């Protein structure tokens, strides 16, 4: 059979993608299959930086063809010291599972029996989890391994890669909530103390990482058409059955009913219930600020459209804001008003009043004079508007009736 033949079970399955894009959901779904075991994140190959990968720390123990070096590697893993060197990420969950669940001596023997290369150690990590679950197909889920797909498919020619994609605006909302609740790494630990700076940093980071993921998708879909598949989070939660049927067909395994019986873990009214939470696809619209949504749409507009994330909702939001401005409503009523925001609200209200005055005085002979008067109070505070509006309306009425000659 040719490499990537979908009729044959894969050697390994890898789930990658931008963080908060549904990789954990896909892992739970595939891990529930009777033949597939997907291990949790290990960041073996790297993180945002390649040197953050576990394999780079493992090389410090020396050549693994030396049995003593294998022993030092096992000591390093069980001590957790290599995880403490990173300030950019938390300890990967796989290492906690390994040291708490797997017998140390058994893992040591497994490494001795491997080919003692980077690939051999990685295979031992995945195979350990799969054997614990008594399943033949091994795999792992590390979102950051999206940047190392070429290495993964070089090591495992019969492997498959599932790339999870999600609307970046939803990722932004989820990432802000996550980092606010648990800001333990650099630079979030410092930035969370300054909310505007923190949100701006997350906004730019999400845009940069998501755009890079789109570029990787375009490259990988051409380079590995039979071994790489993009799956949108929105399709998975809205239409789970046809989406999973396509995924299992790509993986070369039969669809199983149990894959559809997932417990809802997202925040919302359906948390803890069975099934997929279709509302998770659009829940970000309830929390994102208009400024953040507009900025992401402007920065990633073309990529959003290419991947099926239309901007109709954004246009509706802008139309709503325009109506609110014309009605004299505050422009930024989503959060407590700062002095600068209050000043912006005053300007928006003044513009709305100016449009009303301009339309109401259009039929007056003295409309231009009235307009100049209105323009003079355009940027006055609201407290000064009451007296100014009375004088303005009286002046317009007098000029319209010709009573000005009597004064």
Which of the 8 DSSP states describes residue 2? -
**Can you read off the two tokens belonging to residue 150?**
């070429």
Contact (Cβ atoms closer than 8 angstroms) between residue 126 and residue 139: yes
Which of the 8 DSSP states describes residue 10? -
Each residue of 278-291: pLDDT tens digit?
999 999 999 999 99
Looking at the DSSP assignment, which residues form a beta bridge with residue 160? 13
| Cα 103 to Cα 181: distance, rounded to the nearest angstrom | 34
- In this structure, the number of other CB atoms found within 10 A of the CB of residue 383 comes to 8
| Cα 26 to Cα 41: distance, rounded to the nearest angstrom | 13
Name the range with the highest mean pLDDT among 157-166, 259-268, 341-350. Answer: 157-166
Percent of the chain with pLDDT over 90: 61
- In this structure, the number of other CB atoms found within 10 A of the CB of residue 266 comes to 14
Mean pLDDT, the chain, rounded, equals 80
| Cα 111 to Cα 78: distance, rounded to the nearest angstrom | 14
Each residue of 187-236: pLDDT tens digit?
888 899 999 999 999 999 999 999 999 999 999 999 999 999 999 999 99
Contact (Cβ atoms closer than 8 angstroms) between residue 346 and residue 382: yes
Helices (H) and strands (E) counted in the chain, each on its own, are 17, 5
Each residue of 326-339: pLDDT tens digit?
555 444 334 444 45
Beta strand spans in 70-166 (E): 137-141, 160-165
């Amino acid at each position: 059979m040719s490499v990537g033949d979908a009729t044959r079970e894969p050697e390994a399955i890898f789930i990658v993608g931008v963080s908060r894009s549904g990789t954990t959901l896909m892992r739970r779904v595939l891990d529930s299959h009777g033949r597939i075991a997907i291990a949790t994140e290990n960041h073996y190959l790297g993180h945002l930086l390649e040197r953050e990968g576990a394999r780079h720390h493992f090389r410090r123990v020396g050549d693994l063809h030396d049995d003593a070096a294998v022993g030092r590697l096992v000591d390093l893993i069980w001590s957790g010291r290599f995880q403490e060197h990173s300030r950019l990420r938390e300890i990967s969950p796989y290492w906690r599972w390994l040291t708490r669940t797997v017998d140390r001596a058994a893992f040591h023997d497994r490494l001795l029996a491997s080919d003692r290369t980077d690939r051999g150690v990685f295979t031992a990590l995945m195979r350990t989890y799969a054997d614990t679950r008594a399943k033949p197909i091994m795999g792992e889920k590390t979102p950051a391994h999206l940047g190392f797909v070429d290495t993964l498919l070089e090591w495992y020619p019969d492997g498959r890669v599932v790339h999870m994609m999600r609307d970046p605006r939803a990722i932004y909302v989820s990432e802000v909530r996550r980092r606010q609740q648990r800001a333990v790494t650099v630079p979030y630990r410092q930035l969370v103390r300054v909310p505007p700076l923190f949100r701006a940093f997350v906004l730019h980071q999400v845009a940069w990482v998501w755009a890079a993921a789109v570029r990787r998708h375009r490259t990988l879909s051409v380079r590995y058409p039979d071994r790489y598949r993009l799956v949108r989070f929105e399709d998975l939660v809205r239409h789970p059955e046809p989406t999973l049927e396509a995924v299992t067909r790509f993986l070369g395994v039969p669809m199983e009913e149990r894959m559809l019986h997932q417990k809802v873990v997202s925040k919302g009214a359906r948390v803890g219930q069975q099934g997929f939470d279709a509302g998770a696809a659009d829940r970000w619209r309830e929390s994102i600020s208009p400024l953040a949504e507009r900025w992401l749409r402007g920065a990633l507009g073309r990529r959003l459209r290419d991947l099926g994330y239309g901007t109709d909702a954004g246009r509706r939001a802008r139309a709503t804001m325009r109506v609110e401005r014309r009605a004299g409503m505050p422009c930024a009523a989503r959060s407590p008003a700062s002095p600068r925001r209050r000043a912006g609200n005053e300007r928006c209200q003044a513009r709305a009043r100016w449009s009303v005055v301009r339309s109401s005085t259009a039929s007056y002979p003295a409309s231009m004079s009235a307009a100049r008067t209105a323009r003079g109070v355009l940027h006055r505070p609201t407290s000064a508007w009451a007296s100014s509006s009375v004088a303005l309306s009286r002046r317009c009425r007098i000029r319209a009736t010709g009573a000005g000659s009597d004064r």
